[in-house]
Amino acid sequence: MKTIDLNCDMGEGFGVYSLGDDKAMLDIVTSANIACGFHAGDPLVMADTLASAKARGVGCGAHPSFMDLWGFGRRPILGQSVGEIEKQLIYQIGALQALAHAQGFKLAHVKTHGSLGNMANEDIELARAVARAIKAVDPGFIFIVMPGLPTERAGEEMGLKVAREIYADRAYADNGNLASRKLPGAVLHDAEAAAERVLRIVESGEVVSISGARIPVRADTVCVHGDTADAVAMARAVRTRLEGAGYGVRPMAEWL
């Protein structure tokens, strides 16, 4: 049987504020990328998300970001050295790792969030800083990367296990990175159309960019963002379509 992982960014509330229906998403996805306090999340939200994922057999990983609560990690934070960013990543990953350890739970992966991820996918030195931070905390962690971009190269250079990711709900730029959210059509909302698109990408080994360019990709994991109103319906549609096509949907740490 062909196998694939379905991941979602979650734990993105803060204090009394919540964002997304994490409990419903955890009944569908197989891996959770948990915010580590820099763009969202706090110790209680992080611990609760870990516990909910553990109860459902969902794999967990850290979802570190630039320090940008105000902008939800979606703003470029310039003027920092890669060394500074590397230490911030170690700090965030380590915080979630400690909370998981306290619950007898082991993290499996790391995936960068927002502008940090977008910038690392266009800057090899920043991508290498991310990979170094991951390896420094645990060389056994899986690094979620975008195929053909600097994060994939950096992960391979560092000897990390990589999971190549495609997005169900985001359009692509011609360079293989995600299209800016400011562009029309950059975020997809039709669940059935997104599910059909995911299956087409997985089966054909290519994505079609927002301008029509065809970009070769390999997919180990599919991301559905959890912070949109239609996120749960989209995740369910994607999983149903993949399983209907004969894919086993399982946490990446079990088979990658």
pLDDT in tens, 22-56: 999 999 999 999 999 999 999 999 999 999 999 99
Q: Is the dihedral of CA 34, 38, 39, 41 positive or negative?
A: positive
pLDDT at position 205 over 90 = yes
Threshold 0.85, pTM exceeds:
yes
Tell me what pLDDT residue 188 has.
85
- Averaged over 10-30, what is the pLDDT? 96
Q: Which residues contact 216 (CB under 8 A, 6 or more apart)?
A: 147, 148, 205, 206
pLDDT at position 72 over 90 = yes
Tell me what pLDDT residue 230 has.
83
pLDDT at position 225 over 90 = no
pLDDT at position 11 over 90 = yes
Domains of the chain, start order: 2-255 (3.20.20.370)
pLDDT at position 186 over 90 = no
β-pair type (214-216, 206-208): antiparallel
Tell me what pLDDT residue 182 has.
86
pLDDT at position 158 over 90 = yes
Tell me what pLDDT residue 241 has.
97
